[in-house]
Structure 1
Amino acid sequence: MTMNGTVAVDRPRAQEILAYVEKLKPWLRKHQAEAEQQRRVPQETVERLDQAGVFSLTTPTRFGGADFTTRETHDIIRALASGCGATAWVVWAAAGGNLWSCAFPDEVIAPVYETPWVGNRTFALGGTSRRMSGTARQVEGGWMIKGTWPFATGSVHASHGYLAVFHDDTDDAKVGMALVPKEQLVERDDWEAMGLAGTGSQTVATDGELFVPDERFSTPERLSTRIAELTGQGLGPARGGLVRSLIIGAGLALGMADQAMEAFLATIGRRSLPYSPYAQQIEAPVAHHIVGRAHAEIRAAARVADAAVAELDRCQAEATDPTENEALQLHTDAAYVWDTCSRAVETLFRASGASAIVKRNPLQLVTRNCLAGSMHAANHLDTWLENVGRMLCGTDSGPLSASVLERRTS
């Protein structure tokens, strides 16, 4: 039992949640195809995760959410992804989005997180471009917002959304975030994807203009100020912001790679190898080489992730934030993990023969999920190799296209 301000809260323990997720892996693997078919995490899975306290990862610590290290959170996400990559992606995305809870007055945000709820309570999206966000105009007492927000991961199970809106027609720095009850939004149920289809990342939209009162509208400047205030009170979020979320998210790639390796090794002893001198694949030296290479790639990616996790936990212990160059390197590390794991998983998939294309084979689903995750803009390795290369060469470049979580204020 700990004290959160004046409210006593029971905090979950990381090792208990991790142990539960490990026990739940068979269930997650059994139902990951169902998640893809339903294009959302099955409700029974959500309920089982909720009972275990997994969704405490998606709740701010000052409202009783998990207060875990980067290491602990990364390990939980990796274990979840080893069971079902889509389910883990939803938990991870919702956890990162709750940083925006810091941008609103506690009397406004507290009911969102303190009202009884099963699953993730909020989702957050938009801000990297106008195409991915809405617009807002100021009126007496608030704002009129309208727009369409694609890729709304976590919106299926949430009660509220944090929606980015641009409130100036010409200045892309004029961006805000509106806190909107999901019941006021239109859910388009249009998530048809080749990978991570089970995340339910549908489009949400307003039906014309929607009034948002002033207390439910915030800005990156208010977010930065409020985070500083909460940190000074010992109630702030963990250090690292979005870059911490991306390093934790690298556990998704590693978890899916873990599942792919297990699936491959489970059948290699009974898989035939037509048109070759070998009756079974396990007899072929090339199969041993493939397994060894994939294992080395996954292990190397894990070592990169481990170093990044340790760096962020060091920052937390020392009460410092990563420097701009450190954050850039950490971004690149996360992208490297995704790229390396995706290639390793595809190698195992290709070595599984034509039978692997059958949808009842879990390896094809894991391969598509991992590839889809690696194609997310935040995880695209070529972009981050250029960015870190420019930094190392001392080459000037324009400001990065960053999300509202990373915008710097003067």
Structure 2
Amino acid sequence: MTSSQAEQVLKSVREIIPALRAAGEKAEEDRWIPAENIALLEKAGVFRIATPARFGGLDLSVGEQVEILREIGRGCGSTAWLGMVWVSSAGLVTLYGDKAQEEVFAGGSVRVSGGFTPSGTLTPTEGGFLLNGSWRFNSGCKAADWNLSAAIVENADGSHDEAIAVVPLSEYTITDDWNTSSAAATGSCTTTAENVFVPAHRVVGYGDAISNTTPGRDAVVTPGRRYGLFTYIMAECAGAVLGIARGAYELFLERIPGRGITYTSWDDQSKHPLTQIQVATAANKIAAGEALLAEITGLLQKYADQDEQPSLEEKADVRGRTAFAVQLAKEAVEILYTASGATAIQRSVPIQRFHRDIQGLSLHALLQPNTNLEVQGRVLLGLDPETPFL
């Protein structure tokens, strides 16, 4: 059941869909969404949905968060992806102890970006660590307040661990190197940290984050909000991507009235049986993906309400089914784009941007179908998943 607070955010987001769509072409040209998009999401309350209630946030469930992100995707793929990053990363800050949470959530509404590939180092020093490294594809860094950085901890005895540090974005330098054919407006630039001091309370172990068992966190956890790192992020990613598919479907239906089929006697494409089959197939793929995602968020919430984590087998299922839902969304948009005719390649026609965005985002390492289905299949066959990322 959706809470009244979630319903209000959903209502506000639905009202701004036309504005998000209208700004899409300009956002792509600028390689960054306009400030107005961020302001609209801020006003709608999107940047408070993962903030704990004790800090003035809405503290919505994972299912409610996913539904809101899916709505944003109907308007603009890049804006939805950024919303997903800022919201999910803010949700992951609840993995940290009370002191770190007080710092990050001080304003209630917060935008947190993040990179989970450990391409940096954390060197122990008095009171904390020194962070060095660079993180590519850091979506949302241009307008984030804080940033999560995965890094290798270089212990004094020569051993190594992996950890995630939460650091003010102002401590990084940003290289404007994002110039892509898909998700162009996400501004997913490279961020670099050079000898940035990170106090110990703002660093958690990677393994603890995956399983959501960070020591010392129990006293500050919100009941029903204990989600593991990868299952939570993947569900939110799928929400944004399925929203893009839903948006493309709506754009196709809006565009088709009065369209004929060139070099044929058909003066109304909607009356052609092939178009009817294509629309139905796309609609069913999107609906199937949404149903899979609802099942996933329901599972995560069931365990969170019990203050438990899903089993290894269930986490593997989440990976496989999330990726499969994304694949269904991509296939739906491919069908609709193919049925849109040659005029759809014009940049002024939004469906071509939705098509390119979903193609690019579905290539994200977390969402690759073959990788995730392999993990799920191994576990279904009684084999070791051979990955800690569950």
TM-score by length of structure 2 reads 0.90
Match of 2:190 among 191, 197, 203: 203
Superposition pairs of residues 81-230 of structure 1, within 5 angstroms: 81-115=73-107, 120-127=110-117, 130=118, 133-168=119-154, 174-206=161-193, 208-220=194-206, 227=214, 229-230=216-217
Superposition pairs of residues 325-364 of structure 1, within 5 angstroms: 325-364=313-352
Q: Is the 8 A contact 1:58 1:121 kept in 2?
A: no
Aligned-residue offset at 1:285? 1.6
- Classify 1:143/1:339 alpha carbon distance in 2 versus 1 (closer, same or farther; 3 Å): same
Structure 2 segments unaligned to the other structure (5+ residues)? none
Superposition pairs of residues 311-330 of structure 1, within 5 angstroms: 311-330=299-318
Letter of the structure 1 residue corresponding to residue 164 of structure 2:
M
Letter of the structure 2 residue corresponding to residue 200 of structure 1:
G
Q: Is the 8 A contact 1:253 1:337 kept in 2?
A: no
Letter of the structure 2 residue corresponding to residue 335 of structure 1:
A
Structure 1 segments unaligned to the other structure (5+ residues)? 1-10
SS of aligned partner of 1:165: strand
- Classify 1:134/1:12 alpha carbon distance in 2 versus 1 (closer, same or farther; 3 Å): farther
Letter of the structure 1 residue corresponding to residue 140 of structure 2:
G
Cα deviation per residue 1:164-222 (whole Å; 9 max; x = unaligned)?
1112399996112233222221111111121111122111012x433334344332366
Which sits farther off after the overlay, 232-241 or 81-90? 232-241
Q: Is the 8 A contact 1:99 1:237 kept in 2?
A: no
SS of aligned partner of 1:41: coil
Q: Is the 8 A contact 1:58 1:91 kept in 2?
A: no
Aligned-residue offset at 1:341? 0.7
Query: Among the aligned pairs, what percent are the same residue?
Result: 29
Aligned: 1:50 with 2:38: no
Q: Is the 8 A contact 1:78 1:252 kept in 2?
A: yes
SS of aligned partner of 2:387: coil
Aligned-residue offset at 1:12? 8.2
Aligned-residue offset at 1:61? 4.2
SS of aligned partner of 1:339: helix
Report the counterpart of residue 6 of structure 1 in structure 2.
none
Give the aligned CA root-mean-square deviation in angstroms: 2.6
Aligned-residue offset at 1:357? 0.6
SS of aligned partner of 1:187: strand
- Classify 1:276/1:48 alpha carbon distance in 2 versus 1 (closer, same or farther; 3 Å): same
SS of aligned partner of 2:130: strand
Report the counterpart of residue 3 of structure 1 in structure 2.
none
Q: Is the 8 A contact 1:85 1:252 kept in 2?
A: yes
Cα deviation per residue 1:47-86 (whole Å; 9 max; x = unaligned)?
1211221110243444222222233222111111111121
Letter of the structure 1 residue corresponding to residue 27 of structure 2:
A
Cα distance in 2, alignment partners of residues 315 and 174 from structure 1: 28
Match of 2:280 among 267, 287, 292: 292
SS of aligned partner of 2:131: strand
Cα distance in 1, alignment partners of residues 307 and 124 from structure 2: 37
Cα distance in 1, alignment partners of residues 253 and 227 from structure 2: 37
- Classify 1:384/1:217 alpha carbon distance in 2 versus 1 (closer, same or farther; 3 Å): closer
Aligned-residue offset at 1:319? 3.1
Aligned: 1:20 with 2:12: yes
Cα distance in 2, alignment partners of residues 173 and 374 from structure 1: 32
TM-score by length of structure 1 reads 0.86
Cα distance in 1, alignment partners of residues 159 and 281 from structure 2: 45
Name the count of aligned residue pairs.
385
Superposition pairs of residues 259-298 of structure 1, within 5 angstroms: 259-298=247-286
Match of 2:354 among 360, 363, 366: 366
Match of 1:398 among 373, 381, 386: 386
